[in-house]
Structure 1
Amino acid sequence: MANILIIDDEPSICASLEFALEDDYEVQSTTNPKEGLRWMKEGDVHLCLLDLKIGNQDGLEVLDEIKKSYPHIVVIMITAYGTIESSVKALQIGAYSYLTKPINMEELTSVVKQAIRYNELNQKVEYLTQELERKYSYEGMIGTSQAMRKVYQMIDKVKEVDTSVLITGESGTGKELVARAIHHLGKRKQEHFVVVNCAAIPESLLESELFGYVKGAFTGADTKKQGMFQLANNGTIFLDEIGDMSLALQAKLLRVLQLKEITPLGSTKIEKVNVRVIAATNRDLGKAVEKGEFREDLYFRLNVIQIKLPPLRQRKEDLPHLIRHFLHIHNKELGTHITGLSKKAEQCLIRYNFPGNVRELANVMEASMVIAEGKSIEMSDLPSYLQEDRTTPVSREDAAAVFVGLTIKEVEKEIIHATLQKNKGHRKQTADMLGISERSLRDKIKQYNFSG
């Protein structure tokens, strides 16, 4: 049974509304908005009937506080001072509907019933959305493409062992997510996971950050400080952008990996450490070794197991799942209610190759959702550089990678479908582009049950 809270400054109104609803719902009322908000915090309120004017207090301010603190509660405004302006403002803030005094009890029960049903459906949609995210995700990573399934399989294989792992891939592909998954699924999950961005810390400070220092080790070292390896003891240390580390520091890191011991700056005392090391880079360390920019012995020590993350342009089939994921995440963070993208906006995202990968997609979705005025993201809401259709040329290797794991028939179907779309359904142009006869194309369209 749904719980209804009535907030109105007239006790007689509260009493009559309670009487009208108490047979079908659990109902309580108050003339004090602060008391009503306290009940919401303490209890399970599904719907609130809220007066627009509560003594000297503006009901719209109370509505705003309810929607910010308890967005799951459905609010129906009631007022004797109804104006179009106040009603529109209430709906913009998040009210489900509004009723004017004197209240028609039949209308009240009808609107309340609809609102309760609306709330139930919203909760069901929220649950199904979370289930979909679980279905298409793995420890925060989204995607069911063949390339991502290989990544998940590698994580499963290495999570329980202490072997060093090198995660490679372009910026924004989710290398830290992979490292976190390995840690949190493995035997060290109860211990610390420490992240060090080797590119973000100045070279002069990186050694002291990694290994710590003792008091008096250098000017300004007024106290002893633990290093990242000490903090990560018995846990995992993630060395991001390892390719940016200087050769001198690489030598010291190699010693730590070989002997499992560190010496803090300014100290002669050797400390044993038991740390799993996961490193990541967007550089080709093999080439860096050839150029003398990275130590070969350290490279082989780190690169026992390599997990290569695919760029987003090579797993376009994951885009719908990622888009739905970011819609859900950003709606919660921004307080928006965007349900999807227009067909043109979605096609624009599919065409674009995202050089910034998943991180860029997340930023694009957030920016577009802030700007969007309706329930869906339109082309005009997308960043201007996307509207200008500046797509990055796709290499033959990247294009081929999209079809890895598919059968020949599945690849043929995808290519014919994409070519038909490009030519807006024009069969002769499509047949010419594919290098087949119109009759062959017609047979393929029938075989694969394409429309048009």
Structure 2
Amino acid sequence: MNKLLIIDDEKAICNSLKFAFEDKYKTYIAKDFPTVKKYISMYYFDIVLLDLKFGDIDGLEVLKYIKKDLGECQVIIMTAYSSIDSSIKAMKLGAWDYVLKPLSLDNLEMIIEKAIEYKNLSSRLQDMHNELSAIKSDKIIGKSKGIKDVFNLINKVKNVDVNVLITGESGTGKELVAREIHYNGKRKKERFEVVNCGAIPKNLIESELFGYEKGAFTGAVKARKGKFMLANRGTLFLDEIGEMDSKTQVKLLRIIQDKVVYPVGGEDGIKIDVRIIAATNRKLLEEIEKGNFREDLYYRLNVININMPSLRERIEDIPLLVEHFIKKYNQALNKNIKSISPEALKLLKAYNYKGNIRELENILERAIILTENEIIDVHDLPYQVIRDENIKIPDDKLIISIYDTFEVIEEKVIRKAIDKIGSKRKIAKILGISERTLWNKIKKYGI
């Protein structure tokens, strides 16, 4: 429910306006400036009705105070004919509109509704602007069977209001799937909010999700909307849901069932309409067996499961991904890399990606930054990709790059020597160091 603040020093006007709008808006009355400051510090207001003749205080100064603290709040000026010039000044200072006294409640209600509609539209346009670059630069790339299956499921669920659980290893692109569902579905004109459940401390996750009222805890100097309220009519993406603590799991389950959110420190529930998409790299059924995740919440979230295949399961997509990342970082880094050599691409296809697509992207970003040529070649790739078992070279040789640090080169030499020679005493003699020094370096590099 939107919050409405009525600022007027006439008790009768305040009471009549509260009576007219309290069923539709959560309504507050301020008949003096100290009360205005109190409410502005406590709550976020969507609409303010401000009388320009506010006792001995200049209504324009009150307007400046409100807009300074609540920039997105829509202020509607209530004024008499004699103060129309001041109303025009108020519009220049950021007021939404003005209405003449005596007030027409029907006309005022229409203006309030238009103000809220405009506010919501402006907020959504800003969100879309913020998301646009991410949507353009990052998308699901591939033609493998696993990715085709993912696209098929996305098309089936994008316009159906069911909860979706996206599973898969870290770096496989689970958030991209959530964005595809949202931005191609019927909720695409509304907000897409993201919460990383693993990145927020346990003592803050509830206030992040549900919001809080002023004074709910130390540091809560002002009320704040939570992600559920921000995502109302849109989509809330709960990333790393497997990291959520048991207490918050109980509250999340209740919200899914009742579709009502209670801000921390608040008594009144807020009705919401939010689609939930969750993601995890954990095996939740195993977490349920361990007592770390609620079984009832699992089945509430896992109405539809979309599993993202690892990059190791979709090797045929690597050339397409490489091409995509070269284009992306050419633009971001102002480079002009034309392509990748067949030998380098072969190594990328042979590599065992523990970090999946995120690791491949990191490898290519590094290569694009470091290479001085127009073609990414073998020597532009990091050691873990061009390790000995990935490329045929003589037994007594290894590949190093001029961009490798001395420590990286030293580690490569020791690993190669241990693999091919074995004897630590003999290796130490060949390298011209003591056995103790060799053992220290082996320990240092975790060999």
Summarize the Cα distance change of 1:298–1:289 in structure 2 as closer, same or farther, 3 Å threshold. same
Percent pairwise identity: 53
Aligned residue number for residue 184 of structure 1: 183
Q: Secondary structure at the match of 1:167?
A: strand
Residues 296-352 of structure 1: CA deviation (Å, up to 9, x unaligned): 000000000000000000000111111111111111111111111222211110110
Aligned residue number for residue 225 of structure 1: 224
**How far apart are 1:279 and its partner, in Å?**
0.2
- Which TM-score applies when normalising by structure 2? 0.56
Q: Which amino acid aligns with 1:281?
A: T
Aligned residue number for residue 146 of structure 2: 147
Aligned residue number for residue 249 of structure 1: 248
State the Cα RMSD in Å.
1.5
Query: C-alpha distance in 1, partners of 2:389/2:190?
Result: 45
Aligned residue number for residue 201 of structure 1: 200
Q: Which amino acid aligns with 2:316?
A: E
Q: Which amino acid aligns with 2:191?
A: H
User: Equivalent residues in 2 for 1:6-405 (5 A)?
Assistant: 140-389=139-388
Residues 123-164 of structure 1: CA deviation (Å, up to 9, x unaligned): xxxxxxxxxxxxxx9981000011100000000000001100
Query: C-alpha distance in 2, partners of 1:182/1:356?
Result: 24
Residues 75-117 of structure 1: CA deviation (Å, up to 9, x unaligned): xxxxxxxxxxxxxxxxxxxxxxxxxxxxxxxxxxxxxxxxxxx
Query: C-alpha distance in 1, partners of 2:138/2:324?
Result: 13
Query: C-alpha distance in 2, partners of 1:266/1:320?
Result: 53
**How far apart are 1:390 and its partner, in Å?**
6.6
**How far apart are 1:383 and its partner, in Å?**
1.1
Query: C-alpha distance in 1, partners of 2:286/2:274?
Result: 28
Query: C-alpha distance in 1, partners of 2:217/2:336?
Result: 54
- Which TM-score applies when normalising by structure 1? 0.55
Q: Which amino acid aligns with 1:258?
A: Q
| Contact 2:167/2:307, CA 8 A, preserved across alignment | yes
Query: C-alpha distance in 2, partners of 1:211/1:338?
Result: 46
Query: C-alpha distance in 2, partners of 1:213/1:312?
Result: 41
Query: C-alpha distance in 2, partners of 1:194/1:257?
Result: 16
Aligned residue number for residue 423 of structure 2: none
Query: C-alpha distance in 1, partners of 2:253/2:388?
Result: 46
Q: Secondary structure at the match of 1:214?
A: coil
| Contact 1:352/1:390, CA 8 A, preserved across alignment | no
Aligned residue number for residue 24 of structure 2: none
Query: C-alpha distance in 2, partners of 1:264/1:242?
Result: 20
Residues 374-414 of structure 1: CA deviation (Å, up to 9, x unaligned): 111111111122122577xxxxxxxxxxxxxxxxxxxxxxx
Query: C-alpha distance in 1, partners of 2:194/2:176?
Result: 11
Q: Which amino acid aligns with 2:358?
A: R
Query: C-alpha distance in 1, partners of 2:216/2:371?
Result: 55
Q: Which amino acid aligns with 1:229?
A: F
**How far apart are 1:353 and its partner, in Å?**
1.8
Query: C-alpha distance in 2, partners of 1:261/1:239?
Result: 17
Query: C-alpha distance in 1, partners of 2:207/2:378?
Result: 49
Query: C-alpha distance in 2, partners of 1:318/1:148?
Result: 9
Q: Which amino acid aligns with 1:385?
A: Q
Summarize the Cα distance change of 1:376–1:139 in structure 2 as closer, same or farther, 3 Å threshold. closer
Query: C-alpha distance in 1, partners of 2:385/2:184?
Result: 38
Q: Secondary structure at the match of 2:278?
A: strand
**How far apart are 1:219 and its partner, in Å?**
1.3
Query: C-alpha distance in 1, partners of 2:137/2:199?
Result: 28
Summarize the Cα distance change of 1:288–1:389 in structure 2 as closer, same or farther, 3 Å threshold. farther
Q: Secondary structure at the match of 2:299?
A: helix
- Deviating more after overlay: 344-353 vs 272-281: 344-353
| Contact 2:210/2:226, CA 8 A, preserved across alignment | yes
Summarize the Cα distance change of 1:210–1:390 in structure 2 as closer, same or farther, 3 Å threshold. farther
Query: C-alpha distance in 1, partners of 2:143/2:348?
Result: 18
Query: C-alpha distance in 2, partners of 1:308/1:326?
Result: 23
Summarize the Cα distance change of 1:212–1:356 in structure 2 as closer, same or farther, 3 Å threshold. same
Summarize the Cα distance change of 1:389–1:328 in structure 2 as closer, same or farther, 3 Å threshold. farther
Aligned residue number for residue 105 of structure 1: none
Q: Secondary structure at the match of 1:278?
A: strand
Summarize the Cα distance change of 1:166–1:249 in structure 2 as closer, same or farther, 3 Å threshold. same
Summarize the Cα distance change of 1:138–1:296 in structure 2 as closer, same or farther, 3 Å threshold. farther
| Contact 2:137/2:328, CA 8 A, preserved across alignment | no
Query: C-alpha distance in 2, partners of 1:139/1:172?
Result: 13
| Contact 1:352/1:389, CA 8 A, preserved across alignment | no
| Contact 2:241/2:279, CA 8 A, preserved across alignment | yes
| Contact 1:211/1:228, CA 8 A, preserved across alignment | yes
Q: Which amino acid aligns with 2:381?
A: L
Query: C-alpha distance in 1, partners of 2:314/2:253?
Result: 35
Q: Secondary structure at the match of 1:386?
A: coil
| Contact 1:345/1:378, CA 8 A, preserved across alignment | yes
Residues 253-297 of structure 1: CA deviation (Å, up to 9, x unaligned): 000000000110111111111000000000000111111110000
**How far apart are 1:245 and its partner, in Å?**
0.3
Aligned residue number for residue 412 of structure 1: none
Unaligned runs of 5+ in 1: 1-136, 392-452
Q: Secondary structure at the match of 1:385?
A: coil
Q: Secondary structure at the match of 2:203?
A: helix
Summarize the Cα distance change of 1:263–1:158 in structure 2 as closer, same or farther, 3 Å threshold. same
